[in-house]
Amino acid sequence: MRCAYLCYQQGPHRAHKRQAKALNPEIVPMRLNVFPTGFKTYDLLISEGFRPSIMGFLMKRMHMTEWHINLLLGDFMSSIIKKSCLKRLVDLIYRDCDGIIANSSLTADIYQKHFGKKYTHKLKVCWPIANIKPFRERAVKNVDRASAICYLGHLTHLDGADLLSEIFYRIQNELNADNIDMYIIGTGIVYEKLLQIAEKEENFHVLGYQPRNIIKEVFKKCLIFVYPARLKFFGLPVIEAMAAGLIPIVTEMTGARDLVKRVNSKLVTPVDVNIISEKIVEILRMGPKEKIELSQKAKYVAIEHVETAKITFESFLRNFLHQSQNSIK
């Protein structure tokens, strides 16, 4: 079978690199004003995200591929949410699309909110895969001596990074303690604002971008990973932190909620600073045994996910192709 993976110019998204290799496809990066395949034909074309889906649609219309499957990612859904006029284009694309893969139930829910039941028979949720190898070595038994809180990700309003300082202050006040540290790793539009707070607060650490070896060291100090997103279609850092044994607290608007629910459904909260802070305080007040149990479960869920996600993706593709071939017969 001749298979192509159509993606943006920088190559497959890091969350989908292992999935991109599932059927040993030709990786085809899109370049502006250049038809990406050199007019080759394929049996199966997998497009990653919004603009590649348009090219995939055109290639199928031009009989350059027999089947077209689209990975429905966050950039795709964000485009639809911001510009409702795109719905007509998306409707046209998905009318011809043979399969749709959402990267979380949140993405699938938002898709259905905008398109209803239309084409949901083609929709399948296959979660992306994080590289957790650098973080698996952290010993869970050490969590009973950890109390710090960590955030890793983009420092934007959609990611909820602007809420971190308020969460920090509420925790300090509730516990009447000044020894609870919060570590914030990442860059983005609220970085400078958070940095100003860090200059005044000794226990509020804004570290900016950091390589994996530094992230590993920060994770070793921490008990809780918080992701207060207003809208994050998945959130790979959540899985990385879970692999290190951090107890995740995420909002219901974070795609990685699907995996956090497997640890404990109560770790998924509304986008509400009070509730998020209360949940963190609740965990900080737990006994060592309860903390270790949650930490072990988080690590187990993350590892199990990474071991099975690629298999799930491959299985979906093969089942899809088998059903498509049978329908042709």
Q: What is the pLDDT of residues 205-250, one digit of tens each?
A: 999 999 999 999 999 999 999 999 999 999 999 999 999 999 999 9
Domain 133-306 fold is Rossmann fold (3.40.50)
- Assigned token pair, 195: 């940095």
So what's the pLDDT on residue 46? 92
- Assigned token pair, 141: 């038994």
Whether 3-126 shares its CATH topology with 133-306 is answered: yes
So what's the pLDDT on residue 304? 93
Cα separation, 324 vs 290, in Å, equals 49
So what's the pLDDT on residue 160? 97
Identity (one letter) of the amino acid at 119? Y
Cα separation, 66 vs 61, in Å, equals 9
So what's the pLDDT on residue 183? 97
The mean pLDDT of the chain is: 88
Cα separation, 212 vs 220, in Å, equals 12
Which pLDDT band, with edges at 50, 70 and 90, does 94 fall under? confident
So what's the pLDDT on residue 170? 95
328 has a pLDDT exceeding 60? no
Sorted by where each begins, the domain ranges of the chain are 3-126, 133-306
Could you tell me if 54 and 96 are in contact, meaning their C-beta atoms sit under 8 angstroms apart? Answer: no
- Residues with Cβ within 8 Å of 56's Cβ and at least 6 positions away in sequence, in order, are 6, 45, 47, 65, 68, 70, 93, 97
- Sheet of 42-48: strand order equals 26-29, 3-7, 42-48, 65-72, 99-102, 123-125
- Assigned token pair, 50: 């919004």
- Residues with Cβ within 8 Å of 32's Cβ and at least 6 positions away in sequence, in order, are 9
Q: What is the pLDDT of residues 33-65, one digit of tens each?
A: 556 666 789 999 999 988 899 899 999 999 999
Q: What is the mean pLDDT of residues 168-180?
A: 88
Q: Concatenated DSSP letters for 44-68?
A: EEEEESHHHHHHHHHHHHTTSEEEE
- Assigned token pair, 215: 């992230």
Percent of the chain with pLDDT over 70: 90
Place of tokens 């899809």: 320
So what's the pLDDT on residue 179? 82
Q: What is the mean pLDDT of residues 277-289?
A: 94
* Cα 167 to chain centroid, rounded: 22
SS3 content of the chain, % helix, strand, coil (to 5): 50, 20, 30
Q: What is the pLDDT of residues 261-281, one digit of tens each?
A: 999 999 999 999 999 999 999
199 has a pLDDT exceeding 70? yes
Write down the architecture of domain 3-126 according to CATH.
3-Layer(aba) Sandwich (3.40)
Closest CA to 124 of 315, 256, 322: 315
Q: What is the pLDDT of residues 116-164, one digit of tens each?
A: 787 888 888 988 888 888 898 776 766 766 789 999 999 999 999 999 9
pTM: 0.89
